[in-house]
A and B are shown apart, each in its own frame.
Chain A
Amino acid sequence: MNKLVLIAGGSTLVYACLAWMMAVLPGVELSKVPAGPGVQPLTALQSEGREVYVANGCSYCHTQQVRPLNEDKVFGRPSAEGDFTYQTPELLGSERTGPDLTNIGMRQPSSVWQYIHLYNPRAVVSESIMPSFNWMFDVIHQAPAGVTSVPLPKGYAPAHGVVVPSHEAQALIAYLASLKQPPVSEAEAASGDQAMADMASPTTRTSAPASANLAPPVGGYDAAKGAALFTANCSACHQASGEGLPGAFPSLKGDAVVNNDDATKHIHVVLNGLHDAKVGGVVYGSAMPPFAGSLSDVEVADIIDYERSSWGNHGKPVIAAQVTAERGKAK
C-alpha cells in the first residue's frame, strides 16, 4: 500500500512540480509579452482560412517560425514572441517539407499565383511535391459575373469549363495573404541580432554562406548570382524558362521592355511592381509585386542583367547606379 502511494503519488508529484517549472513558469513569463507592433488579430475570413489550413494538414509540411540563423534568413526576420500573440493553437510546426510560411503574404502576394499553386503546385513549380488541393475549386461551365476564374496553364486546366475557387480556398488564400511579418522596432532588431550572435557558434558564423549583403564584385554583373536571385524571386511566376504562364504571368522571353536598350521601364517595374498594364497586347489579371523593399540596388541590377542576357534576350546591361537613380526618382 505504502509503495503504491510512493509510486503513484511520488511520480505524479514529480511530474507536477517539473511541469510547473518547465511550462507554467515560462508560460507566465510569455503571457506578459504584449503583441508585437503591427501584429493584428485575424479577420473572420482569415481565421476561417486558418481552420482550413489546420484541417488539411498544411502545418505538417510548413513551419511558421523563423529561427535566428543564417539559413533561415530567406524566410524573413527571426520570429519574436509578440508575433504569436493571437494564435491558438500555435502553428509553429515541426517539419519543413516545404518552405516556412511566416512571411508568405509578403514573399508571394499574388493571389492568382496562390490559386494556381493550390490547384496544382506543379503548374507553377514544376518539381514541387506539394499535394494538389484541387477539390477546393469548382469546375463550372462559365464564371459568374464578378468572379474571376483561375488562369491555369494548358495541361493543368480541366478539358472543359473554367476553374473557380470555392469559399474554402478563398478563405485559405486570405489567410496566407495575412501572413506578413510586421517590421520590428530598431531596438528589437538589434536584440534579435544579438540573439543570433549568441546562438550561432563562432565557427559556423564565419563559415556561413556569403549572404547577399556582402560587397558586390566590382565592375558589373555576377551571372551566377543573377540566376540565383531570379530563381528565388521571379521564377515562381515568370518560370525558369522565362516564358511565364500564358494568361497569368507574362513571358520575359523576347519581351519589349526587357529588350529595350533604355532600361528605365524595366528597372521601374522591378522596383515598383506593375498592374493593369498591357504586356505583349495582353492585360493580366494578376499584378507584379514591387521588389524595392526586399532587393538591394546591386541585386536588382544582377537580376535585370540576367533577364536581359537569357532566353535569347539581348537588352543592354544595366549597372547598380542606374537602379539607385531610378529609386531616387520614386521618392
Chain B
Amino acid sequence: MSTVATTVFDDGRASPTSATAAGGLFDRDLILKFMAAGAFWLVFAPTVGAIVAIKFNYYDFLGHVSWLSWGRLRPVHVMGVVFGGFSTTVIGLTYFIVPRLCGVPMYKPQWGYSIFWGWNIALVAGFVSLMLGYNSGIEAGEFPLWVSIPVEIVLCMVAIQVLVTIKRRTEPRLYVSLWYMAAAYIWTALNYAFGHFILPYSMPGVNNAAMHGLYIHYVVGLWITPIGLAVAYYFLPLAAKRPLYSHKLSLVGFWALAFFYPFVGTHHYIYSPIPYWTQTIAIVASMMLIIPVWTVVQNFYGTFVGGWKNFQESYAAKFIVIGALYYLLGCFQGSTEALREMQRLTHFTDFVIGHSHLTVFGTFVIWATAGMYWVTPRLARRELYSKGLAQWHYWLTVAGFSVMAGDLTLQGMMQGTMLQAGTDFVESMVAMKPYWIIRSLAGIVMDVGAALGFWNLYMTIRHGKLIEMPAAVPVDYLPEPKWS
C-alpha cells in the first residue's frame, strides 16, 4: 500500500509520516461528500448546456418562461461547470491531496463541513439568482453579490487551510501539486474578488473590457489550469503506478504558467480599441503558452511510456491520458487562435466555444473525473460498482466530446469564411443549423455518459462490494480496488 503513496516522488523516497499520523490525515466522509456533490453538479451543468444547445434549433423548447429562457440558462451552464462541477470536485480532492503530501492533517479540519455546505448552498443560490435575472454582467463572473460573498469567504478559508498545512508539513519535499495548489488558491481568492466586487461596478468603458479580459482568462489560467494540473500531477503517478517522469520539468511548467498567463487575457479583445501594443503582447504570450503545455504533455506521456498495462486497468489513468491529449489539442488551438489572422476568421464564432469546451471540459473536468475515480472506491473501501458503467462513461465521453469539439471548430471556421466573403449574416446563421443539431446530439451523448459514470460512483459508495480489510486497519488505510 505505501508503495503507492511513495511513487508520487520522482526519487522514490518514502513519505515517512503519511501512514502513522494519529487520528488520520484526511476525512474520508467529508471527501466523499464533496465527490458526490461534484458528481451531481457535473451532471446538472452539462444538462443545462444540452438544453441551451437544443434551443438553437428548437426555439420554443422550454421557452416562454423567463427563468428557463436561453439567456438566463447560459450563465448557469458556464458557471455551473466551472464553479459547480469542476471546483466542487477539486476542492474535495484538495482535502485529500494536501494532507497526504504534507504528512499532517489539514489545518482546522472542522472547517471542512462548513465549507462544504457554505459552498454548495452558495452555488444553489447562484443558479437560482441567475435564472431570476440577477446577473452582474461580467461573463464568467455573473454571480451577484449575495452569492459572491460566501464564495469568496470559502475560497479564502480553503486558501488559509492549504497554506498553513503546507507550512506545518513534516514532509520536507514539496511535490509540484502543492506548488500549483498554493498558487491557485491565492491567485483565485484575489481574482474572484476582483471579478465580482470591482469589475461590475467601476472602471467604465474599454478599461472595463481590458480588465474583464484579464479576469476571464485568470479564471482559466490561474484557477482551472493550476488546480487541475495539481490534481492531474498527483493522480498521474498513482494511477500509472510509476514515478513521475520529471519533477524538474513540471516546475519549469509552473513558472512558465505563472509568467505567461497574466499576459494573455487581452487576446479576447484583438481588433478592439484596447491599445494595440497590449494586444500584441497578448498574442506573443499566447504562443509562449506552448511551453507549459509541452512540459505537461511530455511529463504525462513520459510517465506512462513503458507502463501501459496499468493504463489498461485504471479508469483514473484512462481519463488522465485522454485529458492530456485534449490539453495538447486545445492549447495548440488556443495559441493559434490568438494570431490576428486566425482571430479575424474565428472570433465571435462557435470556434471559440469549441476551444473553451476542449480546454475546460476536455482537459480539466476530465482530469477531475480521473481524481474521482481514483479516490471514491478507495475511500469508500469498496470495489467499483460496475466496470461496464465506467467503460460506457469513458467511451461516451470520448465519442461525444470529440464530435462536439470537431463540429464547433469546423462550423466556426465555416461561418467566419462565409462572413469574410461578404455573406449576409442571417444566411450564414442558417448554414450553422445542421452543425448545431450535431452539437446537441454530441452533448447529449456526453451527458448520458456522465450520468452513467457518476451513478456508478454513487453506487460504489452505497453498494460496491466491500473490500476485505487487514485485521488491524490503520486509520488512513487505502485498499487497492480494481479498475480505479
Of the listed stretches B272-280, B370-378, B438-446, chain A binds: B272-280
* CB of B15, distance to nearest CB on chain A (Å): 16
Q: Are B424 and A232 in contact (CB under 8 A)?
A: yes
Give the shortest distance, in Å, between B412 (CB) and chain A (any CB). 10
Contacts of A204 in B (CB 8 A): 341, 344, 420
CA gap between A232 and B187 in the complex, in Å: 48
Tell me whether A129 and B263 are in contact (CB under 8 A).
Answer: no
Whether A245 is near chain B, meaning CB under 8 Å from some CB there, is no
Contact A26 B273 (CB under 8 A): no
Could you tell me if B273 and A129 are in contact, using CB atoms closer than 8 angstroms?
no
Q: Decide yes or no whether A148 CB sits under 8 A from chain B.
A: no
Within 8 A of B (CB), among A156-214: 195, 198-201, 204, 208-211
Any B CB within 8 A of the CB of A284: no
Q: Judging by beta carbons under 8 Å apart, are B352 and A15 in contact?
A: no
Q: Tell me the B199-222 residues at the A interface (CB within 8 Å).
A: 199-212, 214, 222
From B69-77, B145-153, B391-399, the one touching the partner chain is B69-77
B287 at the interface (CB under 8 A from A): no
Contacts of B214 in A (CB 8 A): 19, 22-23
A196 and B70 alpha carbons, distance in the complex (Å): 35
Cα of A122 to Cα of B174 in the assembled complex, Å: 60
Indicate if the CB atoms of B420 and A15 lie closer than 8 Å.
no
Minimal beta-carbon separation of A238 from chain B (angstroms):
15
- Within the assembled complex, what's the spacing in Å between the Cα atoms of A128 and B57? 10
Of B75, B214, B272, B419, the most chain A CB neighbours within 10 A belong to B272
Contacts A14-B259, A56-B72, A91-B137 given: A80-B273 contact, CB under 8 Å? yes
Q: Specify which chain B residues have a CB less than 8 angstroms from the CB of A311 in the assembled complex.
A: none
Provide the residues of chain B in CB contact with A60, threshold 8 Å. Answer: 71, 74-75, 139
Please determine whether A4 and B182 come into contact, CB atoms closer than 8 angstroms.
Answer: yes
Quick check: A88 and B210 within 8 Å, CB to CB? Answer: no
B113 within 8 A of A: no
On whether A57 and B262 interact (CB within 8 A), knowing A90-B212, A127-B429, the answer reads no
Q: Is A12 an interface residue (CB 8 A)?
A: yes
| Binary per-residue interface labels of chain B (414-429) against chain A in the complex, 1 for a CB within 8 Å, 0 otherwise | 0000011110111001
The reply on B301 being an interface residue by CB < 8 A is no
Given contacts A95-B353, A131-B59, are A57 and B66 in contact (CB under 8 A)? Answer: no
Asked if B348 and A95 make an inter-chain contact with CB atoms under 8 angstroms apart, the answer reads yes
Question: Would you give the shortest CB distance from B97 to chain A, in whole angstroms?
Answer: 15
Contact A132 B179 (CB under 8 A): no
Q: Are A30 and B275 in contact (CB under 8 A)?
A: yes
A-contacting residues, B141-194, CB 8 Å: 163, 166-167, 174, 178-179, 182-183, 186-187, 190
In the complex, whether A7 has a CB less than 8 A from a CB of chain B is yes
Q: Mark B258-274, 1 if CB is under 8 A from A, else 0.
A: 11001101101101111
Which of A68-76, A263-271, A317-325 is the contact stretch?
A68-76
Contact status A89-B207, CB under 8 Å: no
Contact B344 A7 (CB under 8 A): no
Q: Which label, helix, strand, loop or mixed, suits the secondary structure of the B interface?
A: helix
Q: Who on chain A is nearest to B163 by CB?
A: A8
A10, A55, A91, A95: the one contacting B352 at CB < 8 Å is: A95
Q: Is the CB of B183 within 8 A of A8?
A: yes
Closest B-chain residue to A52, C-beta based? B133
In angstroms, how far is the closest chain B Cβ from the Cβ of A65? 5
A310 contacts chain B at the CB level, 8 A cutoff:
no
Known: A23-B210, A85-B205. A18 touches B263 (CB 8 A): yes
Instruction: Select from chain A the residue with minimum beta-carbon distance to B214.
Output: A23
Residue-wise interface mask of A (99-111) relative to B, using a CB-CB cutoff of 8 A (1 in contact, 0 not):
1000000000000
| Contact A89 B63, CB 8 Å, known A55-B133, A131-B55 | no
What CA separation (Å) do A3 and B273 show in the bound complex? 42
Tell me the B20-62 residues at the A interface (CB within 8 Å).
55-57, 59-60
CB neighbors of B among A44-68 (8 A): 54-61, 63, 65, 67-68
| List of A residues within 8 angstroms of B424 by Cβ | 228, 231-232
How many Å lie between the Cα of A96 and that of B412 in the bound state?
A: 11
Tell me if A294 counts as interface (CB < 8 A to partner B). no
Total contacting residues, chain B, CB less than 8 A: 85
B340 adjacent to A199 (CB under 8 Å)? yes
Whether the Cβ atoms of A56 and B199 lie closer than 8 Å is no
Contacts of A88 in B (CB 8 A): 200-205, 208
In the complex, the answer to whether A7 meets B137 with C-beta atoms within 8 Å is no
Contact partner, A94, options B57, B179, B210, B268, Cβ 8 Å: B268
Alpha-carbon distance between A54 and B348 when the two chains are bound, in angstroms: 18
Contact of B63 among A11, A94, A131 (CB under 8 A): A131
A1 within 8 A of B: yes
A100 shortest CB reach to chain B, Å: 8
Q: Which residues of A contact B222 (CB under 8 A)?
A: 15
Interface residues of B in 281-307 (CB under 8 A from A): 281-282
Q: Are A90 and B278 in contact (CB under 8 A)?
A: no
Whether A286 sits at the interface, judged by CB under 8 Å, is no
- Chain B residue contacts of A201, Cβ below 8 A: 340-341
Cβ contact within 8 Å between B69 and A89: no
Asked if residues B348 and A63 are in contact (CB atoms below 8 Å), the reply is yes
Say yes or no: A69 contacts B59, CB within 8 Å.
no
Interface residues of B in 126-144 (CB under 8 A from A): 133-139
Of residues 331 through 352 on chain B, the ones whose CB sits less than 8 Å from some CB of chain A are 340-341, 344, 348-350, 352
A273 at the interface (CB under 8 A from B): no
In the assembled complex, which residues on chain A have CB atoms less than 8 Å from the CB atom of B69? 56-57, 131, 133, 135
Chain B residue, CB-CB nearest to A91 = B137
Which A97-140 residues have a C-beta within 8 angstroms of B?
97-99, 122, 125, 127-135
A262 to nearest B CB, angstroms?
A: 32
Asked whether A89 and B64 contact (CB < 8 A) given A18-B262, A231-B424, the answer is: no
B59-A30 in contact (CB<8A): no
The answer to the question of A234 belonging to the interface, with a C-beta cut-off of 8 Å to chain B, is: no
A132 / chain B contacts, CB cutoff of 8 Å: 59-60, 63-64
With A54-B135, A128-B426 already in contact, the answer to whether A96 and B349 are too (CB < 8 A) is yes
Q: Which of chain B's residues has its CB closest to A200's CB?
A: B344
Chain B CB within 8 A of A221 CB: no
Q: Indicate whether A287 reaches chain B with its CB closer than 8 angstroms.
A: no
Determine whether A241 belongs to the interface, using a CB cutoff of 8 Å to chain B: no
Q: Tell me the residues in window 1-33 of chain A with beta carbons closer than 8 Å to chain B beta carbons.
A: 1, 3-4, 7-8, 10-12, 14-15, 18-19, 22-23, 26-27, 29-31, 33
- Does B65 belong to the interface (CB within 8 Å)? yes
Nearest chain A CB to B197's CB is how many angstroms away? Answer: 12
Closest to B430 in A: A127
Q: Judge if B433 is at the interface, Cβ distance under 8 Å.
A: yes
Enumerate chain B residues within 8 angstroms of A125, measured Cβ to Cβ.
Answer: 426
Known contacts A22-B262, A29-B275, A90-B206; is A4 also within 8 Å of B425 by CB? no
Could you pull out 30 A-B pairs where Cβ atoms are within 8 angstroms?
A7-B179, A7-B182, A8-B182, A15-B190, A19-B214, A22-B266, A23-B211, A26-B207, A26-B210, A26-B274, A26-B278, A30-B207, A31-B205, A54-B135, A55-B135, A59-B139, A79-B272, A87-B205, A88-B200, A89-B136, A89-B200, A90-B209, A92-B206, A95-B349, A96-B349, A97-B429, A131-B59, A133-B69, A201-B340, A209-B420
Give the 7 A-B CB pairs with smallest separation, nearest first. Answer: A57-B71, A209-B422, A18-B262, A55-B133, A67-B271, A96-B348, A90-B208
Other contacts beyond A122-B59, A131-B70: 9, CB < 8 A: A1-B167, A18-B263, A56-B72, A69-B344, A84-B209, A129-B429, A129-B436, A131-B55, A134-B64
